[in-house]
Structure 1
Amino acid sequence: MTRPVRIGVQIQPQHAEYAEIRRAVAAAEEAGVDVVFNWDHFFPLYGERDGEHFECWTMLGAWAEATSRVEIGALVTCNSYRNPELLADMARTVDHISGGRLILGIGAGWFERDYDEYGYDFGTAGSRLADLEQALPRIEKRWSALNPAPLRDIPVLIGGGGEKKTLRYTARHADIWHGFGDLGTVVRKSAILDEWCRTEGRDPSEVERSVGVEGDPGTKGQPLLDAGVTLFTIGLGGPSYDLARLTDWLAWRDEVNAARG
């Protein structure tokens, strides 16, 4: 399967007023990005510890109304923060509001401050992964029971690189895998994901490969593309959200896709 190259942007919901975030989303859509992500945390991940920050899913509902073309989603939702059936219904609702443009990005969770201050049990990495394993089929089951149903088979993006569990859950449930690390790490873990896909009875090409990127696409993009990555996401932080960083990546995407026919 030859997939088109896509460019995403993560508008990090920290250190900015919501009006600035909304303007950045509108500008990203106008610039031609394919996907606009936020993230699912309750406090900034860097910069001023108690700086401005906004919640993920209420924001996605607003983005669904404020945009018309781009896909939207979280990179990624923390599974621990919401009951799986509730999350499935929230995703279905945002899917309808957006006209079928939601991606459900999800992961096991890791930011301990979120858990401590909002009253969730942090547990262990193993217990959080076990909860994610349990949640994914429950989400799928709830989607099949909702009335009205989602407008499309909502794409599931799983973020993480755990080789024994996360990548197996990805092979079993996901449409997109978002990996982390340098080129060598992405190549190695992508190969492990291929093996898990075969174990789970899936064609590895059914799972799109996604990474976060920065720098020059002329040097950073092609090696990742050769490794099978087709979704490249640039992270932008507030308050300025420098969208000039997208320009070269969007031009590179267009060149690659044109060359591929």
Structure 2
Amino acid sequence: MPLLDAPVRLGVQLTPQHVTYPELRDAVLRLEDLGVDILFNWDHFFPLSGDPDGLHYESWTMLAAWAEQTERVEFGALVNCNSYRNPDLQADMARTIDHISAKGGQTGRFIFGTGSGWFERDYDEYGYDFGTAGSRLDDLADGLARVEARWARLNPAPTRRIPVLIGGKGEQKTLRLVARHADIWHSFVGADEVAHKLAVIERWAEKEERDTSSLVVSNELVRRTVETADALYDAGTRLFTLSFGGPDYDYDLVRTWLAWRDAKNA
């Protein structure tokens, strides 16, 4: 079972496309001031919608800037692509960003969201082997083991046990990785699918001999109604993410979902 007594949290994914960096920087400040819980970007090299050659920024360097810029919010990529960087390097970058974000005697705020990758143009233009969906998932399995092993050896160590977020719904490989490694499971599945997917995760957890009772279920709000969000909440979802594009940022939409969050937590 997921962590049902966890508070509802709202994550906002700032899409790093078709905006200038000053516009992104301002959006980060405004969203933290509004009270969102988590800020995400994504890990791609080109826009995913609109002009395919439009403005776009790289994920990890941006996250390091957010670590310094922000004071309260957690943050990370939704999600990092395991294929683009050596896993031991990913672990070291995550540890460093974790330390950058630790302020005032508090622990760091970085969330290690990761996945196997899918956007073929990134691979082709940056010289990575695209492989197959299966081979990329196998690489992710190997990469996650290396990331966790490297965290245990780094000096200094991370300031906290860095939470791992894994996205996807595939039952044979992805959900087994969720059972083995994840603190947060993110997907786009409907409320009627959540129970089945959680049962699959629990079966894999038994094989992996891992306790998943603290697993946080995460899902997406974009183009979804309050009724849909209520159903996802009833199914066990406690982290809700909202894709948020500029330059004409709709902060009233964020305020609406923050009010919904606060009502659930009242």
Please say whether Structure 1 and Structure 2 have the same fold, judged by a TM-score greater than 0.5. Answer: yes
Quick one: distance in 2 between partners of 1:176 and 1:193?
A: 12
Q: Which amino acid aligns with 2:184?
A: I
In structure 2, runs of 5+ residues without a counterpart are: 103-107
Q: Does 1:209 align with 2:196?
A: no
Does residue 151 in structure 1 map to residue 159 in structure 2?
yes
Q: What is the aligned partner in structure 2 of residue 86 from structure 1?
A: 89
Which residue number corresponds to residue 73 of structure 1?
Answer: 76
Report the Cα offset of residue 105 of structure 1.
0.2
How big is the shift at 1:218?
3.3
How far does residue 217 in structure 1 lie from its aligned partner after superposition?
5.6
What is the aligned counterpart of 2:24 among 21, 36, 39? 21
SS state at 2:44 partner: coil
Distance in 2 (CA, whole Å) between partners of 1:128 and 1:186 is 24
Q: Which amino acid aligns with 1:171?
A: A
Across the aligned residues of Structure 1 and Structure 2, the Cα RMSD in angstroms comes to: 1.3
Cα distance between partner residues in 2 of 1:70 and 1:148: 23
Residue 190 of structure 2 contacts residue 232 of structure 2 at CA under 8 Å; is this kept in 1? no
Residue of structure 2 equivalent to 1:171: 179
After TM superposition, the structure 1 = structure 2 runs for residues 95-244 of structure 1, keeping only pairs within 5 Å, are 95-99=98-102, 100-215=108-223, 218-244=226-252
- Kept in 2: contact 1:217–1:248 (CA 8 A): no
Indicate which of 62, 65, 84 corresponds to 1:62. Answer: 65
> Where does structure 1 lack aligned partners over 5 or more consecutive residues?
none
Q: CA deviation at 1:182?
A: 2.5
TM-score (normalizing by structure 2): 0.94
Partner SS for 1:206: coil
Question: Counterpart in 2 of 1:33?
Answer: 36
Give 3-state SS (helix, strand or coil) of 1:132's partner. helix
Does the Cα contact within 8 Å between 1:216 and 1:248 map onto a contact in 2?
no
Shift of 1:112: 0.2
Tell me the residue number matched to 1:45: 48
CA contact (8 A) 1:7 1:253 kept: yes
Q: Residue type of the partner of 1:3? A: A
1:75 and 1:229 mapped to 2: Cα distance? 17
| 1:76 positional shift | 0.1
- Distance in 2, matches of 1:170 and 1:75, equals 15
Aligned partners of 1:72 and 1:235: how far apart in 2?
14
State the TM-score, normalizing by the size of structure 1: 0.95
How many angstroms does 1:215 deviate by?
A: 4.9
Equivalent pairs: percent with the same residue? 60
Could you tell me which residue of structure 1 aligns to residue 258 of structure 2? 250
The 2-side partners of 1:3 and 1:199 are apart by 25
- Structure 2 residue aligned with 1:10: 13
Task: Tell me how far 1:239 sits from its aligned partner.
Answer: 1.8
- Write the distance in 1 (CA, Å) between the matches of 2:15 and 2:224: 21
| 8 Å Cα contact 1:143/1:149 also seen in 2 | yes
Deviation string for 1:168-227 (max 9, x for gaps)? 011001100001233233343233222222332233322110011135663122211111
Cα distance in 1 for residues equivalent to 2:225 and 2:68: 31
Deviation above 6 Å: which 4+ runs of structure 1? Answer: none
Tell me how far apart the structure 2 counterparts of residues 66 and 224 of structure 1 sit (CA, whole Å): 32
